[in-house]
Amino acid sequence: MNGPFRAGRPRGTRPRRLTARMRLTLSYTLFAVTAGTLSLAVVYVGMKYIPNYPLTSASPRYRSDAPSRQEILESLLRAGGYALALLTAVGMIGGWLIAGRVLRPLQDITRAAHRAASGALEHRIALAGPRDEFTELSDAFDEMLARLQRSFEAQQRFAANASHELRTPLAITRTMLQVAAADPAGQDWGKLVTRLQDTNQRGIEISEALLQLADLGHSEPELGPTDLAAAAEEALAAVREEAAALGVRLTAELRPAPTTGNPVLLRQAAVNLLHNALRHNLPADGRVTLATGADPQRPGWARLTVANTGPVLTEEAVATFTEPFLRGRGRTAESDPARRGHGLGLAIVAAVAEAHHGELQLAPEPAGGLRVTLDLPGAPEE
């Protein structure tokens, strides 16, 4: 199959090769033997230049038994052969031990990878020692495991919460239909149809929000020059009736905030922030303020801020508000339908901020309520 992508070959079907330890051992041995052979060759070639005549004493009364050049070369070759054999054995044993010591951290990483493949994401290598290629690989692998564990746990919570949220309207619908079937004559059919429509609409809203959240996590939105103020103004118009129905005073200060983004997603983010601020507010005399403009901390960035009145919140509680299906009262839905949400509004805003390479900051107000700040990179200068 030609192309840039190929399916991975199963581990059991891979051709068998020498282990990395054995290959390193053979490499060390080959290097040692090659170095010894070259040294012997240099000595042998040098001996070729020794004059080939018998060595005799200057006095004729003394008889010399000194070896000739040919005898010296033959002795050198025999001794060199023994030395190379010994060097090969030492190279094999020493290379095996050295390779095992060098590759020991890699074995720890391999065992951790097998444990992670079996689902044990909580294990960490925590390789000790000086900083080198193996410790850097170990730290990177530990970081990957930590991120995988957080992602897996978040997906588990998301799946459980999504199942619960989608099950609730279905269970309510089933109960109403069972009651109506048990006593058809005693039913207010107009009221029943209205309640069924409301419950069905809630299920549709949850499904659409889940789809939107999934799309933001798996695809890159189309970005272009836009203005946060325009998105905020459209969102403001969309929630004015709800603000009036809830008795919440809505004020806005919209200044130009040019950025690079998707106008539809930015409008949806602003609507979600305003819905969250309106529904999680004081029972009476509540206020919501909306503002756009330049980011005072980072020149060139745009900022959208939504603040509301409400109960006093803690930093620990606010830190969890972007988790899916977590509402202002925790995971319990509001009893008032007008103030009830599906718990995905801030999670979608956080996903929109990430898709735009921006930042979403949530902070409790000292007097009660929440301040949400959405910062986005500014539009590039032409």
Tell me the mean pLDDT in the region 314-329: 75
Is the full-model pTM beyond 0.85?
no
DSSP 186: G
pLDDT in tens, 21-79: 677 777 878 887 787 787 777 777 766 666 665 555 555 565 555 666 677 777 777 77
Q: How confident is the model at residue 331 (pLDDT cuts 50, 70, 90)?
A: very low
Sign of CA dihedral 149, 155, 158, 160: negative
* Angle subtended by helix axes 228-246 and 263-279, to nearest 10: 30
Mean residue pLDDT across the chain: 78
Predicted confidence at residue 226, as pLDDT, reads 92
CB neighbours (10 Å) of residue 164? Answer: 11
Q: What SS3 state is found at 212? A: helix
Whole-number percent of the chain with pLDDT over 90: 19
Confirm if 307 and 373 have CB atoms less than 8 A apart. Answer: no
pLDDT in tens, 254-266: 999 999 988 888 9
What pLDDT, on a 0 to 100 scale, did the predictor assign at position 233? Answer: 93
Tokens of 217: 């996590």
Q: Is the pLDDT of residue 378 over 90?
A: no
Query: What residue spans of 48-132 are helical by DSSP H?
Result: 69-117
Cβ(55)–Cβ(71) below 8 Å? no
8 A C-beta contact, residue 153 and residue 126? no
Q: Which of 201-205, 252-256, 294-298 has the lowest mean pLDDT?
A: 201-205
Q: Is the dihedral of CA 9, 10, 11, 17 positive or negative?
A: negative
Encode pLDDT of 148-163 as tens digits: 887 777 677 666 656 6
Q: What is the pLDDT of residues 138-195, one digit of tens each?
A: 888 888 888 888 777 767 766 665 666 677 678 778 888 888 888 888 888 888 888 8
Nearest-Å Rg of the Cα atoms of the chain is: 38
CATH of the domain spanning 224-376, picked from 3.30.565.10, 3.40.190.10, 3.40.50.720, 3.30.479.20: 3.30.565.10
